Amino acid sequence: MSADTDLRIKFDDLKQFCKEAYIRAGVPAEEASIVSDLLAKSDLRGISTHGVSRLPIYILRLQKKYVRNRLKLTYQKDKGPVAFADAHGSMGHIVAYTVMQQVIKKAKEFGIAWVTVKNSGHYGAAGLYSMMAANNGMIGYVCTNTGPWMAPFGGRERIIGNNPLSYAFPADQFPNVVVDFSCSVVSAGRLNLARKKGEKIPFGWALDENGMPTDDPEKGYLNNGTLIPIGEHKGYGLALCHEILTAVLVGGKISRHIKRLNEEDKTGIQGTCHVFMALDPDCFLGTGEFKRELDRYITGIKKSKKAAATEEILMPGEPEFNTEKDRLKNGIPLSSDIVKELKALGNSLKIDLALTN
């Protein structure tokens, strides 16, 4: 059996391990619980690149005071459905969770809400926050800038983030439709996992420091390599839009000035910028009818003609929904490399990792 099937952990146990780690790093228990739930949910939904594989670097950054260990969020402007906040170097997960709660509250009052945040940090999987809106019967949208991972189209200097986005739409009988992707072909986390495992990556994922295609994740992840944008100039253009909506709009750090997680950053402010939006369908068809209309739309897509060898047409977010159901029942698989890193972190903090076979 492979390491992925041998080494599993229950969702609640993984969440508890993360929570204890954050508490030992000086994070208040309530905030530690929120961040840990978000981190473990990434693995629960199969988004391992943004899950507990990042816990050691998150804890190290807290220990080195590269990130604030408790939330500080001040609103610079707040006008009806629109606001602008400064997170002062707080943890991205808790910033995003807290702000999206405020966005949902505003959208219930005004029908729509939009909040932009500067001086935050890496917040993991974007879909976790758009889903908060969908779980409250609203349409959610989020985007963020990141540290530099891509070159401008036609360039070779790593100065642009892969700047992910996510939409989430509430359905009735079907799972919520959740679109969540970065503007690069794959996330930097995919390269990092391949690098840790000593695996090659497909050509088309990354370029080396000379702007040439590479199958070596080391050359793409480190050494001034760059990620390749989706759709070439289209992904490049989309990444620029997200940077403008997040950082440029509020005078925050642009990608080329943001330190990546593995870089020294004694300023205490990584500086990523985010946008959070919620739209209330009750202002249009009405929430219930919108959900039913979306179900009818989904049904039409699923009943359309399938390609050869395709068993079922899936909607965005459905594979993650199915993975979540399976892993809640059977546990979350962790690779031996990730287990080794988590055990080392646990030993240093005197907490146990409760694996199952």
Angle between helices 127-134 and 29-44 (to 10 degrees): 100
180 with 147, same domain: the answer is: yes
The pTM for the full model equals 0.94
84 with 144, same domain: the answer is: yes
Q: What is the CATH number of the domain that holds 51?
A: 1.10.1530.10
Q: What would the two tokens of residue 146 be?
A: 């990141």
In a domain, 211, yes or no: no
6 with 153, same domain: the answer is: no
Average pLDDT along the chain = 95
In a domain, 234, yes or no: yes
Half-sphere exposure of 183 (CA within 13 A, CB side): 30
117 with 261, same domain: the answer is: yes
- The tens digit of pLDDT for each residue in 182-194 reads 999 998 878 887 8
103 with 121, same domain: the answer is: yes
In a domain, 172, yes or no: yes
- The tens digit of pLDDT for each residue in 71-123 reads 999 999 999 999 999 999 999 999 999 999 999 999 999 999 999 999 999 99
Distances (CA, A) of 249 to 123, 163, 220: 20, 15, 30
Q: What would the two tokens of residue 139 be?
A: 């349409």
Q: Does residue 224 come out as left (phi exceeding 0), alpha (psi in the -120 to 50 range) or beta?
A: left
In a domain, 198, yes or no: no
Lowest mean pLDDT among 64-68, 126-130, 190-194: 190-194
Whole-angstrom distance, CA of residue 217 vs CA of residue 228: 13
The yes-or-no verdict on residue 67 having pLDDT over 70 is yes
Helix (H, G, I), strand (E, B) or coil at 190: helix
- The tens digit of pLDDT for each residue in 288-326 reads 999 999 999 999 999 999 999 999 999 999 999 999 999
In a domain, 348, yes or no: yes
Question: Which one of 261, 280, 303 terminates a domain?
Answer: 303
In a domain, 201, yes or no: no
Helix (H, G, I), strand (E, B) or coil at 239: helix
Number of domains in the chain: 2
- The tens digit of pLDDT for each residue in 16-38 reads 999 999 999 999 999 999 999 99
280 with 145, same domain: the answer is: yes
Whole-angstrom distance, CA of residue 68 vs CA of residue 90: 5
In a domain, 193, yes or no: no
266 with 290, same domain: the answer is: yes
- Do 177 and 168 form a contact (C-beta atoms < 8 A)? yes
User: What is the domain extent for residue 145?
Assistant: 67-184+229-303
